[in-house]
Amino acid sequence: MANAAEEIDAVVVGAGFSGLYMLHKLREKGLSVKVFEAGAGIGGTWYWNTYPGARCDVESMDYSYSFDPELEQEWEWTEKYPGQPEILSYLQHVADRHDLRKDVILETRVTHATFDERTSRWTVRTDQGHEVSAQYCVMATGCLSQPKFPEVPGLETFAGPWYHTGLWPKEGVDFSGRRVGVIGTGSSGIQVIPFVADEAADLTVFQRTPNYVLASFNGPIDQDRVRDTKANYPQAREAARQSIFGIAVDMPTQSALEVSDEERREVYQRGWERGHLNAILQAYTDLIFNEESNETAAAFIRDQVHARVNDPATAAKLEPRGYPYGTKRPCLDTRYYETFNRDNVHLVDLREEALVEITESGVRTTAGDYAFDTLVIATGFDAMTGAIQNIDITGKDGVSVRDKWQDGPDTYLGLALAGFPNLFVITGPGSPSVLSNMIVSIEQHVEWISDLVGYMSANGHSVIEAEAAAEKEWTEHVRAVGDMTLFTKADSYYIGANVPGKARVLMPYVGGVAGYRQKCEEVASAGYAGFELK
Ligand code: NA7
């Protein structure tokens, strides 16, 4: 308890991929660092999301740190797409290998971070009574870490157990013989549903928006791919850094409308069989810019739903419609659509009958009552800003991040906020973040921040703050680039549409990982242009 105002160099909030690497890099710079982590273990997303079927939708060979060449050679992934237990063991291995755990304080939630203008230091307080004074404060709080619940009333009145996918009990859940309701069909829902269906007596899925779900073709990892990648890891990493989404793919040269229907179908079929999140989305230059082009891919995916679901009426409900493909996070599945061919699985379309409330015995929609023993809440997260705004962060002149972000999360490069000196956000709004391979973006941010810290000490600076004009210009650029795409056409968490009252603004930067990295490098080589250093 209570290390009253202990003085250290840096506080890092969160011990997932970003917090652990930030700790490692700041230590290398000779800083004293403390990491506060709310979970009882390290791992962030991969600590919390332990529901059956939890899996990353970026391939194993691409979803790992690049900073430790020996580690990337030694570590053996077993499947094409890494499952949650494997990613968590990887992170635990990294923490042990780099002796990171000794500076991580678990089961401790940061509640307040307050900038003291007199000393130019952050006072950070936790729910366990810590009070730490630090020169730097880094929010490594994750983009999808603040769980969101259905907005309808009554969850607390439900008599049976209920589980949010993002807060899954570590001891697991036994669904056998139970009548189960699952609310939500984003990645978490579509991953957990086949596993619940295997065990439950009866499963009802409540779907509000049907997703574009691609088959993952997951399985044992291809050893040729492993050998090739390991033989060329530096080049493979560099190709990822110089890509749009942080995953190297062959870049298209044609519009979807420039080719014949037959050729396009063959290309989409090959993309489909590749079992990859971006294989279809990046098959043509304009799928994310032009609705007519996008519709060609959307229609192809709809056909796949009908090929996999036996009952045409159920398939019609599962067909993704009403928004362009790729503008909400598409999903990769294992057995999702086929699960609806089981006799014990039912689908409720919430666009036909809206959710009204959760009752003591189950779920009420405008069409009637459904009785359940157990509920699974797969309704996602208050993405990108939720975890940061959950902390009382107060900068200069007593202004809080919550106040500042009321009309949308303005940042400079998604890394820094005017009015909040020496505070950094890893993969924050205004950076590629959730629209990229998170590990590639995390490494870039962490390295940029640690280089900056090195630059400051080498040049005798102790305070850095984003200039308001630079922040405004960057935020306008982020929105302008977003407006050139179809991303604003869907009610997605990318634009805050999944949280009532949240500003409707496209939060991730869609200008691409490579261009963004170049901008950050230019800013740094110009002596941190757009920042004021003291
Ligand atoms: P997502 O992708 O935000 O999905 C949440 C799902 O829950 C989605 O189908 C939502 O429907 C649904 N939802 C949310 N609120 C409600 C209410 N009130 N009523 C009914 N349905 C609701 O979160 P996930 O956890 O699945 O995935 C998050 C990310 O993790 C994913 O993108 C990957 O990057 C990994 P909606 O679409 O909003 O109509």
Structural domain spans, the chain? 6-146+383-533, 179-377
3-state secondary structure of 180: strand
- Ligand 1 pocket member 379 (CB < 6 A): yes
Question: What percentage of the chain exceeds 70 in pLDDT?
Answer: 99
Give the alpha-carbon dihedral of 145, 149, 150, 156, to 10 degrees: 170
**How many angstroms does the Cα of residue 505 sit away from the middle of ligand 1?**
18
Distances (CA, A) of 418 to 298, 395, 457, 464: 41, 9, 21, 10
Q: Helices 513-525 and 438-458: crossing angle, nearest 10°?
A: 0
**How many angstroms does the Cα of residue 379 sit away from the middle of ligand 1?**
4
**What are 423-443's pLDDT values in tens digits?**
999 999 999 999 999 999 999
Nearest-atom number in ligand 1 for the CA of 151 is: 18
- The residue nearest atom 20 of ligand 1, judged by CA position, is 208
Q: What is the DSSP letter of 60?
A: T
The average pLDDT across 149-159 equals 97
- Burial pattern 211-230, b for ≥16 Cβ within 10 A else e, equals bbbbbbebeebeeeeeeebe
The encoded tokens of residue 514 equal 């490579």
**How many angstroms does the Cα of residue 332 sit away from the middle of ligand 1?**
14
Tokens 């459904």: give the residue: 370
- Ligand 1 pocket member 264 (CB < 6 A): no
**How many angstroms does the Cα of residue 220 sit away from the middle of ligand 1?**
28
Q: What is the DSSP letter of 133?
A: E
- Ligand 1 pocket member 48 (CB < 6 A): no
Indicate the residue type of 101: R
- Ligand 1 pocket member 137 (CB < 6 A): no
- The residue nearest atom 23 of ligand 1, judged by CA position, is 380
**Residues 6+ positions from 393 with CB-CB distance below 8 Å:** 112, 113, 114, 400, 401, 402, 420, 423
**How many angstroms does the Cα of residue 188 sit away from the middle of ligand 1?**
8
Q: 1 pLDDT band (50/70/90 cuts)? A: very low
Nearest-atom number in ligand 1 for the CA of 208 is: 39
Above 80 in pLDDT, residue 75? yes
**pLDDT value of residue 358:** 98
**How many angstroms does the Cα of residue 239 sit away from the middle of ligand 1?**
31
Q: Helices 84-97 and 17-28: crossing angle, nearest 10°?
A: 10
CB 183 within 8 A of CB 358: no
* End-to-end CA separation in angstroms for the chain: 34
Indicate the residue type of 501: G
- Ligand 1 pocket member 204 (CB < 6 A): no
CB 490 within 8 A of CB 328: yes
For 6-146+383-533, the fitting CATH number among 3.40.50.620, 3.50.50.60, 3.40.50.1970, 3.20.10.10 is 3.50.50.60
- Ligand 1 pocket member 320 (CB < 6 A): no
**pLDDT value of residue 457:** 96
The angle formed by the CA atoms of residues 58, 64 and 67, to the nearest 5 degrees, is 145
CB 438 within 8 A of CB 143: yes
Distances (CA, A) of 375 to 120, 153, 182: 48, 14, 6
CB 18 within 8 A of CB 140: yes
CB 446 within 8 A of CB 18: yes
Distance (Å, whole) CA 131 – CA 307: 58
**How many angstroms does the Cα of residue 22 sit away from the middle of ligand 1?**
29
Ligand 1: residue of 84, 353, 498, 504 to mutate (most ligand atoms within 8 A of CB) is 498
**pLDDT value of residue 298:** 98
Q: What is the 3-state secondary structure (H, E, C) of 391-430?
A: CEEECHHHCEHHHHCCCCCCCECCCECCCCCCEEECCCEC
**pLDDT value of residue 4:** 60
CB 165 within 8 A of CB 192: yes
**Residues 6+ positions from 503 with CB-CB distance below 8 Å:** 405, 406, 407, 408, 409, 496
Ligand 1: residue of 46, 188, 336 to mutate (most ligand atoms within 8 A of CB) is 188
Nearest-atom number in ligand 1 for the CA of 209 is: 39
Give counts: helices (H), strands (E), the chain: 16, 20
Average pLDDT across the chain, whole number: 97
DSSP string computed for 208-223? SS---EEE----B--H
Length of the chain: 534
- Ligand 1 pocket member 188 (CB < 6 A): yes
Helices (H), 75-184: 84-97
Q: 5 pLDDT band (50/70/90 cuts)? A: confident
Distance (Å, whole) CA 338 – CA 87: 26
**Residues 6+ positions from 528 with CB-CB distance below 8 Å:** 452, 455, 464
- The residue nearest atom 16 of ligand 1, judged by CA position, is 150
The encoded tokens of residue 221 equal 């990892």
Distances (CA, A) of 304 to 126, 298, 340: 49, 10, 14
**What are 402-429's pLDDT values in tens digits?**
999 999 999 999 999 999 999 999 999 9
**pLDDT value of residue 3:** 46
**How many angstroms does the Cα of residue 328 sit away from the middle of ligand 1?**
10
Distance (Å, whole) CA 71 – CA 73: 5
Above 50 in pLDDT, residue 2? no
**How many angstroms does the Cα of residue 353 sit away from the middle of ligand 1?**
18
**What are 188-231's pLDDT values in tens digits?**
999 999 999 999 999 999 999 999 999 999 999 999 999 999 99
- Ligand 1 pocket member 125 (CB < 6 A): no
Distance (Å, whole) CA 498 – CA 78: 35
**What are 311-364's pLDDT values in tens digits?**
999 999 999 999 999 999 999 999 999 999 999 999 999 999 999 999 999 999
